[in-house]
Amino acid sequence: MKATGLETMTKLSKLKLAAALSAAGFAFLASPAVAGDIAKGKEKADQVCAACHGKDGNTPIDPSYPKLAGQFRDYLETALTDYQAERRTNAIMVGQAKALSRDDIRNLAAYYASLPTQLSVRR
Ligand code: HEC
């Protein structure tokens, strides 16, 4: 049964290829470029965002301005891309977000997520 052997080989190498591809996919997801660069995020945050959200992301200049420190990275990224696309509207933040690149957003989200949180639920 030569043909069956060959078929099995082909299926096996297809499986291997699929495994290799998905491994590559996961490696891509875990790469630092996608996760965001905390140091670059801090640089940008100090230049721009700290003026309103506070130098530590916990001391905003007004109580109505949210604390960003320790917020989930994907939440921050989503909030910023939503402002950018005007899915979430706010006169101040839409303008802020539109000035950011995709990398800026990833870096800023990684930076603020890395800071100690003061977010809490009041009971
Ligand atoms: C001029 C003041 C100001 C500056 C500068 C500013 N923000 Fe904001 N930010 C606000 C205000 C006000 C809100 C609340 C807006 C709303 O209610 O949607 C906000 C909301 C946010 C939110 C949503 C938080 C949440 O809990 O939903 C994120 C994320 C955010 N800002 C990130 C940033 C980043 C990153 C920068 C720097 C690139 C920045 N902001 C610069 C005033 C500012």
Neighbours of 94 (CB within 10 A): 15
Provide, rounded to the nearest whole percent, the portion of the chain with pLDDT above 70.
72
Look at ligand 1, atom 2, and give the residue with the nearest C-alpha. 52
Question: Mean pLDDT over residues 81-88, rounded?
Answer: 98
Q: Which residues contact 119 (CB under 8 A, 6 or more apart)?
A: 67, 69, 70, 71
Residue-averaged pLDDT of the chain: 85
Distance 69 CA to ligand 1 centre (A): 12
pLDDT for the residue 75: 97
Distance 123 CA to ligand 1 centre (A): 25
**pLDDT digit string (tens) for 29-79?**
444 446 899 999 999 999 999 999 999 999 999 999 999 999 999 999 999
